[in-house]
Structure 1
Amino acid sequence: MTHAAALPRLRALIAPAIATLVALAILVTLGTWQLQRKAWKEGLIAQIEARSHGEPGSIQREAQWSSWRASDDEFRRVRLTGTFLNQFETPVYGLAPAQRGSPLQGFYLMTPLRLADGAIVMINRGFVPTELRDPKARPNSQPQGEVSVTGLVRAPEARNTFTPADDPAKNSWFTRDPEAIAKAHGLTRVAPFLIDADATSNPGGWPKGGQTRLDLPNDHLQYAFTWFGIALTLIGVFGVFAWRRIKGAQGS
């Protein structure tokens, strides 16, 4: 085949080459993004490790609550003293790890803690299984008088597309959201964050605190290798395809 006759076959490579370059750019971008996510996750893990251990400090002052940011304060270990408003105990549906088998279904108990100055901080006191949702089923589980709580500062739980709507009238909740819970109970001067109580034993054994997950998964390097691997495979497939087209054009 003459040079002029081979040109149509070579031109036929233009569209596949463009498609390959576009797909390659997307795959490399995804791989690079996963590496960036890996660096971000490692920073977050290091931040959690540094903040969640050591001697507990104090919570942020009420005057600073309007400018509170999770990135500056979340997972910090703190201790605070106050009185539980047990009449406003709010069960929030959730799952807890089980020793064997599937996670346990139950509730995380959100209870307002009134500080000495009258401000309120929501405390996630811990987990109870479904059959212990009613306080009457767990006698002595609601401390009276002044108490001290040690735990980790947490941001309000984020809601996603699959989260059912809360129903305050039925005391049915699916997100640990201090502002929404406070509004339902007519409470004011409430902190924009909550405290996940540590594993210190509660009277009667319930609720079980210390449920904060600190071992965040970090599989981003694996994902990055996957995207880069697909990119290399794509290059190889297109290379073989183009080589066969070119050889076919030369041999005709």
Structure 2
Amino acid sequence: MTRPPARLIAAGLVALALFAGLVALGTWQVHRRAWKLDLIAQIDARIHRAPVAAPGPGAWPGIDAPSAQYRRIRLTGMYLPAQTLVQASTEQGSGWWVLTPMRTDKGFTALVNRGFIATRTPPPPPAAPVTVTGLLRISEPGGGFLRLNDPASGRWYSRDVAAIARAQRLGEVAPYFVDADAASGPPGGPIGGLTVIAFPNNHLIYALTWYALAMMIAGAFVIFVRAQPRGAAR
């Protein structure tokens, strides 16, 4: 029996490595798809539950966990006069989110996204105690896409809770903000309830792409072997 040439052995090893790697990537995307579908189902159930009390300081250490995001919460208190405008793009068009700190009746301060305005003139917050229901959102540190927040000039592109608290000298605040729902604001105020909950789920397409590439590698190797001289391919 003629021993296969070194180039055939090398090609086989490379093809095997590529095939295994591509199959592994495809399988990883299958697992990612299952995880994403489970996450979507959890959040869909979470946003339709009855609201619970806003987490106080004792619950803040673990508030950045995925299980906290988009939980429906309720808080009561007095709005503070400081307001921060964050650039926004919504179904209502381009404008600003109005973030206002609230001193809750539980003794802590939390930022409330009262809603959307189209002009850079936010209406003052109510002067009486209010109850707000909305979705718990995790802080958005840094800034928006390719744009960094500029606290010194009052330009905000993301709802960075810690940075806003520092700029407004609010002291310690909850490490989350609340997206108020449409019913939580007075008539003529910012438009609430515009939270967009969308999770891209292209993992099946990615998985099929990786598997297809793996099959192409296998097919290319078979063609390569068949192209070899009869004796070298044995």
- If the length of structure 2 is used for normalisation, what is the TM-score? 0.88
**One of 99, 103, 116 as aligned partner of 2:105:** 116
Task: Output the amino acid matched with 2:63.
Answer: W
Gaps of 5+ in 1: 99-103
1:226 to 209, 212, 224: 209
Runs of 4+ in structure 1 deviating by more than 6 angstroms, as ranges, are none
1:53-202 to 2 correspondences below 5 Å: 53-85=48-80, 87-97=81-91, 104-129=93-118, 132-135=119-122, 140=123, 142-159=125-142, 162-200=145-183, 202=185
Provide TM-score, normalisation by structure 1. 0.83
**Deviation by residue 1:28-78 (Cα, 9 ceiling, x = unmatched):** 222122112112211211110121112111111223323433323221111
- How many angstroms apart in 2 are the aligned matches of 1:218 and 1:125? 30
User: Cα distance, 1:22 vs. partner?
Assistant: 2.2
Structure with the higher helix share, 1 or 2: 1
1:237 to 2:209 alignment: no
CA gap of 1:36–1:205, structure 2 versus 1, over 3 A, is farther
Shift of 1:200: 2.2
Q: Distance in 2 between matches of 1:113 and 1:91?
A: 15
Correspondence for 1:101: none
Unaligned runs of 5+ in 2: none
Alpha-carbon shift at residue 153 of structure 1 (Å): 0.8
> Matched residue of 1:195: which SS?
strand
SS at match of 2:54: coil
Counterpart position of 1:43 = 38
Note if contact 2:108-2:173 (Cα within 8 Å) is conserved in structure 1. yes
C-alpha distance 148-160 of structure 1, shift in aligned 2 (>3 A): closer
Letter in structure 2 aligned against 1:92:
V
Tell me, in whole angstroms, the C-alpha distance in 1 between the residues paired with 2:27 and 2:116: 39
